[in-house]
């Protein structure tokens, strides 16, 4: 066997999305050779996913012509040759536009290849005493076999040019019986799970992803965030992402003994369970935060501003953010003044306008509305664009306004005079009432999310549409 020594570590993209062929540096002398077969830091710098291998398998093949496959397994694999030489063949058996794509290559110990979940793997040995080795990121189990997808080695559509004709090769009876491509059921991709899917944001996400079978929705009846049994009963290997649309948002009730306990249970304890699950199963966790994590002393809040919540609700949201931040793959979407389907400030003002009531509305709290349709769209954008993980502010765009300004806009759009709304200070409005303190400035710096290419609609435009609908 002749091995090319001292190659530069190099990545080569292939015709199958996610399948990457690597040249490996092999160092040899009169004693033999040595190579770094898998090196997380160096290969990560070349774009190899940090796929977190948990099992190392070796297939030893005594004779040239031994042929195995084509097996698509429900985990990622990093494959190399320990000794000998193989002809490898890979076929995309995942749902999607690349289904049926084929890539072949000869591999010796100076090459390795990364094969994502759902791509069929096969090889034929070209030398006696060949050892084929692979790292996988899930443990084999009898249950996992039911998730395999197979393709016949002789499939005419794939038309793999085996160096040793299959009739002369060593095959197992099982491999001979695998289906042709036309009869293969593609392996479905991992799903997105939306929890808390019956709230304002959950409803907006349902509308956005309507008809998309890759997104699964769970309200409290389907998934109780307070129950350890809900977490234990779910097969997390089937998911790539969890969107947490659940939250305790009763700002004033959170200041009571019962409300305080409930706020911490939903906004922190349940979030900690989600974060632990995301870490254990290498999931992306999307979490929604609030302007209430700030004390409102700055006119505009960047993502980097240290949190300083004033009340219990803000404290629980800040604590939840801190928990989520330890998840390697996380998006924290920080919003303000959320408006969606259900009871909210805009609907209340529209109802008052319709009934001819002239309200007093706080005029010293300043911020921007955030419509749930845009929160949902921003979440999908972050997930699909591959934006850097971390915290992103999101409200609708435009000049920050007071609640009184927004109420006046609602009245005007409802055909009523703006002057029907009277401004009042926060102190005066809540005088004698047991309520949570509010940040006076809730304006969020939107430059970071805009830099990802997400077009942030103006609050005025969305308010007009919302009232029109």
Catalytically annotated residue among 12, 22, 27, 71? 71
Within 10 Å of residue 114's Cβ, how many Cβ atoms? 23
Residue pair 195/270 in contact by the 8 Å Cβ criterion: no
444 alpha carbon, distance to own chain's centre: 23
Active site residue 429: no
Catalytically annotated residue among 12, 27, 132, 134? 134
Three-state SS for the chain is CCCCCCCCCEEEECCCCCCEEEECCEEEECCEEEECCCCHHHHHHCCCCCCCCCEEEEEEECCCCEEEEEEECCCCEEEEEEECCEEEEEEECECCCCCCCEEEEEECCCEEEEECCCEEEEEEECCCCEEEEEEECCCCCHHHHCCCEECCCCCCCCCCCCCCCHHHCECCHHHHCCCCHHHCCCECCCEEEEECCCCHHHHHHHHHCCCCCCEEEECCCCCCCCCHHHHHHCCHHHEEEEEECCCCCCCCHHHCHHHHHHHHHHHHHHHHHHHHHHHHHCCEEEEEEEHHHCCCCCCEECCCCCCCCCCHHHHHHHHHHHHHCCCCCEEEEEECCEECCCCCHHHHHHHHHHCCCCCEEECCCEECCEEHHHHHHHHHHHHHHCCCCEEEECCCECCCEEHHHHHHHHHHHCCCCHHHCEEECHHHHCCCCCCCCCCCECEECCHHHHHCCCCCCEHHHHHHHHHHC
Active site residue 392: no
Neighbouring-strand partners of residue 288: 333
**Cβ contacts of 2 within 8 Å, gap of 6 or more:** 108
Q: Catalogue the active-site residues.
A: 71, 134
């Amino acid at each position: 066997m002749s091995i090319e020594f001292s190659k530069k570590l190099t990545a080569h993209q292939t015709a199958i999305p996610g399948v990457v062929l690597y040249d490996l540096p092999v160092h040899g002398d009169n004693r033999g050779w040595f190579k770094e077969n898998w090196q997380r830091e160096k290969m990560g710098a070349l774009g190899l996913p940090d796929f977190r291998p948990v099992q190392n398998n070796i297939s030893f093949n005594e004779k040239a012509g031994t042929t195995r496959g084509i097996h698509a397994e429900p985990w990622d694999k990093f494959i190399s040759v320990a000794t000998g030489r193989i002809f490898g063949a890979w076929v995309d058996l995942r749902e999607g536009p690349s289904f049926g794509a084929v890539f072949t290559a000869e591999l010796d110990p100076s090459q390795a290849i990364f094969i994502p979940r759902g791509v069929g793997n096969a090889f034929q040995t070209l030398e006696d005493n060949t050892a084929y080795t692979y790292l996988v990121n899930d443990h084999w189990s009898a249950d996992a076999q039911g998730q395999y997808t197979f393709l016949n080695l002789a499939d005419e559509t794939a038309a793999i040019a085996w160096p040793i004709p299959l009739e002369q090769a060593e095959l197992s009876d099982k491999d001979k019986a695998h289906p042709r491509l036309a009869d293969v059921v593609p392996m479905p991709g991992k799903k997105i799970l939306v929890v808390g899917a019956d709230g304002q944001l959950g409803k907006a996400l349902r509308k956005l992803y309507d008809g998309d079978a890759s997104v699964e929705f769970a309200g409290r009846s389907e998934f109780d965030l307070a129950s350890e049994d809900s977490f234990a009963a779910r097969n997390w290997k089937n998911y790539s992402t969890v969107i947490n649309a659940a939250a305790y948002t009763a700002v004033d009730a959170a200041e009571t003994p019962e409300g305080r306990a409930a706020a911490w249970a939903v906004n922190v304890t349940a979030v900690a369970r989600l974060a632990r699950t995301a870490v254990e199963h290498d999931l992306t966790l999307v979490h929604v935060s609030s302007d209430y994590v700030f004390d409102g002393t700055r006119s505009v809040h960047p993502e980097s501003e240290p949190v300083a919540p004033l009340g219990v609700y803000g404290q629980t949201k800040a604590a939840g953010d801190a928990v989520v931040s330890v998840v390697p793959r996380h998006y924290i979407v920080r919003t303000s003044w959320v408006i969606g389907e259900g009871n909210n400030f805009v609907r209340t003002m529209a109802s008052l306008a319709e009934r001819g009531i002239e309200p007093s509305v706080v005029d010293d709290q300043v911020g921007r509305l955030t419509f749930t349709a845009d929160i949902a769209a921003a979440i999908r954008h972050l997930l699909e664009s591959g934006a850097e993980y971390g915290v992103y502010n999101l409200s609708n765009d435009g000049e920050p306004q007071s609640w009184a300004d927004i109420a006046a806009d609602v009245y005007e759009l409802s055909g009523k005079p703006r002057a029907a709304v009277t401004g009042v200070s926060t102190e005066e409005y809540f005088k004698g009432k047991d309520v949570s303190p509010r940040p006076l400035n809730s304006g969020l710096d939107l430059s970071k999310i805009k830099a990802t290419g997400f077009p942030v609609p103006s609050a005025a435009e969305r308010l007009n549409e919302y009232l029109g609908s």
